[in-house]
C-alpha cells in the first residue's frame, strides 16, 4: 500500500515532515515526497492526518486468565487497537498469576489467535505475587517475558528486592515497580486531603508513594541497577526521580493520562469511575506531573488500563475496585491536555507513547518509522474533536472518568504489520 500526503512524526530521529510511505509485505520499503503508485498498489490519501510510530503501552491489565468477566485477551486487544496501540505489555496479576511457563504460554498463544498486535507480557517478580520467592526468571524470558513486576502489589521486602533486581538485571531485563507503602494505604479510597475530609472518605496520603520510591532508589543506588517506576502521581515522587537521574541512577518512570488531566477536585457524587490506584492527587501534584513530562523526568505515558465489570464500578466508591478503562482515551487525553495547550509538542508526546517505551523495554521493530522497519503505525488527527462515549468502547469495561468529555485528538487508523484496522 501507499500512504499519501500525511505529516510523519518519528521521534527516534526527530523527523517531522510531509512525506509518503510505501509498505510491502509488512515492511516499510520507501519514504519520500510525491511517491508514485505502482500497479495493484492500494493508495490511501491521508491529507490532514499525522502518521506516528504505532503506540506502545508498557503497562496494562487484560485480566485473562481468571477474571474474564472484567476483560479477556480478545476484548483487551480490540480495545487497544481501537486506541491506536500496536503493542501492549500486560501485567501479571491474573489468576493464576503469570509467574510460570504454562500461564505465560497460554497468554501468548491466546493473543496470537486474536491478532498480530505486539504482545509482550510482563511476568511476576515473585511467585503468586506473594513477595516471598523469586520466579524462574531465565525460563520466563526464554518464553517471551519482556519485564517483571508484581504490579498491583508493592515489593516491600528490601532484601528480596535487592536480590531480584540483581538477578533480573543480570538477564538484561527490568523490574517495573508498583511503589507503595501498604501500611499507609490503610484501606483508603481517595487521596488524603481536603476532598477526603469533606466527603468523609478514607484517604491515601501522598507519602504512601514517595516513601516507597525513596527506599527503592537507595536499593538501586547501592547495586547500580536499572529500574522503572510505574504510575507516578505525586509532586514528591517526581522530585525524587528527577534528583536520582541527576545523580546518574539508571531509572525511568511513567505516568498515566488521568494523572495529568484530573485531580481529586474532579471527584463528584462518590462516583467510582474516579477511583484509581494510586488515587487522583491534588492540582499541585498534577502540575508537577506535567513539569516532569516537560523536563524528561517522566519518560513514558502508559495507560494502566485496569478494567472491571460495570456492576463492580457502579458500587459505592468505598466498595468498588480501583481501576478504569484506559486504552481508548489515552491518545485523545494526551493531545487535549498536553499538546493542544502547549505543554508538550506533538513530537514529545508521541515520543513518550512510542520510542521511549520501546527503548526502555528493548523492543525491536517498534517505535520507529524508517525503511526496512516493520510497518506498525498509528494515524491520528490531532485537531479532530471527539466526544468520549464509553458505551461504545471495545473493552468490556465501559467505565471512564472521561465519558461525555469533548476532547481534541482522534485515532483514525491503526496499522499492524502492514494490516489496516479502521477505527470507529
Which residues belong to the active site? 304
Q: Are strands 122-123 and 85-90 parallel, antiparallel or unpaired?
A: unpaired
Distances (CA, A) of 410 to 15, 88, 335, 383: 21, 19, 9, 8
Q: Are strands 175-177 and 190-191 parallel, antiparallel or unpaired?
A: unpaired
Count of beta carbons in the 10 Å neighbourhood of residue 41 = 13
What radius of gyration do the chain's Cα atoms show?
A: 21
Distances (CA, A) of 143 to 89, 109, 185, 346, 395: 15, 11, 35, 36, 27
Q: Is the peptide bond before 318 cis (omega within 30 degrees of 0)?
A: no
Distances (CA, A) of 300 to 144, 252, 257, 322: 22, 8, 10, 22
- Nine-digit cell string for 341: 495547550
Amino acid at each position: 500500500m501507499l500512504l499519501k500526503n500525511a505529516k510523519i512524526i518519528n521521534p527516534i530521529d526527530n523527523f517531522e515532515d510531509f512525506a509518503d510511505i510505501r509498505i510491502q509485505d509488512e515492511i516499510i520499503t520507501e519514504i519520500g515526497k510525491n511517491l508514485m503508485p505502482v500497479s495493484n498498489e492500494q493508495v490511501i490519501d491521508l491529507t490532514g492526518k499525522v502518521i506516528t510510530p504505532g503506540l506502545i503501552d508498557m503497562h496494562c491489565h487484560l485480566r485473562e486468565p481468571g477474571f474474564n468477566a472484567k476483560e479477556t485477551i480478545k476484548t483487551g486487544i480490540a480495545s487497544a487497537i481501537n486506541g491506536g496501540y500496536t503493542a501492549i505489555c500486560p501485567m501479571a496479576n491474573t489468576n493464576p498469576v503469570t509467574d510460570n511457563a504454562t500461564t505465560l504460554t497460554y497468554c501468548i498463544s491466546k493473543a496470537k489467535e486474536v491478532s498480530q498486535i505486539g504482545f509482550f507480557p510482563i511476568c511476576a517478580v515473585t511467585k503468586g505475587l506473594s513477595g516471598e520467592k523469586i520466579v524462574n526468571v531465565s525460563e520466563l524470558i526464554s518464553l517471551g517475558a519482556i519485564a517483571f513486576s508484581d504490579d498491583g502489589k508493592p515489593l516491600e521486602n528490601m532484601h528480596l528486592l535487592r536480590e531480584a533486581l540483581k538477578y533480573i538485571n543480570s538477564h538484561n531485563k527490568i523490574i517495573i515497580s508498583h511503589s507503595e507503602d501498604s501500611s499507609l494505604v490503610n484501606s483508603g479510597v481517595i487521596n488524603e486531603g481536603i476532598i477526603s475530609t469533606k466527603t468523609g472518605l478514607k484517604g491515601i496520603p501522598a507519602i504512601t508513594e514517595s516513601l516507597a520510591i525513596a527506599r527503592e532508589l537507595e536499593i538501586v543506588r547501592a547495586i547500580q541497577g536499572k529500574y522503572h517506576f510505574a504510575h507516578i502521581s505525586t509532586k514528591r515522587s517526581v522530585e525524587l526521580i528527577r534528583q536520582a537521574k541527576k545523580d546518574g541512577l539508571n531509572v525511568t518512570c511513567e505516568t498515566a493520562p488521568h494523572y495529568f488531566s484530573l485531580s481529586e477536585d474532579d471527584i463528584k457524587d462518590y462516583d467510582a469511575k474516579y477511583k484509581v490506584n494510586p488515587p487522583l492527587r491534588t492540582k499541585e501534584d498534577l502540575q508537577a506531573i506535567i513539569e516532569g513530562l516537560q523536563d524528561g523526568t517522566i519518560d513514558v505515558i502508559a495507560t494502566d488500563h485496569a478494567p472491571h465489570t460495570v456492576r463492580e464500578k457502579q458500587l459505592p466508591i468505598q466498595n468498588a475496585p480501583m481501576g478504569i478503562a484506559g486504552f481508548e482515551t489515552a491518545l485523545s487525553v494526551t493531545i487535549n491536555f498536553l499538546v493542544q495547550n502547549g505543554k508538550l509538542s506533538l513530537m514529545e508526546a508521541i515520543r513518550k507513547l512510542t520510542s521511549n517505551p520501546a527503548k526502555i523495554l528493548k523492543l525491536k521493530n517498534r517505535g520507529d518509522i524508517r525503511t526496512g522497519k516493520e510497518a506498525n503505525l498509528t494515524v491520528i488527527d490531532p485537531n479532530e474533536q471527539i466526544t468520549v462515549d464509553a458505551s461504545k468502547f471495545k473493552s468490556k469495561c465501559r467505565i471512564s472518568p472521561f465519558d461525555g468529555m469533548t476532547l481534541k485528538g482522534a485515532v483514525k487508523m491503526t496499522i499492524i504489520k502492514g494490516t489496516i484496522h479502521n477505527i470507529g
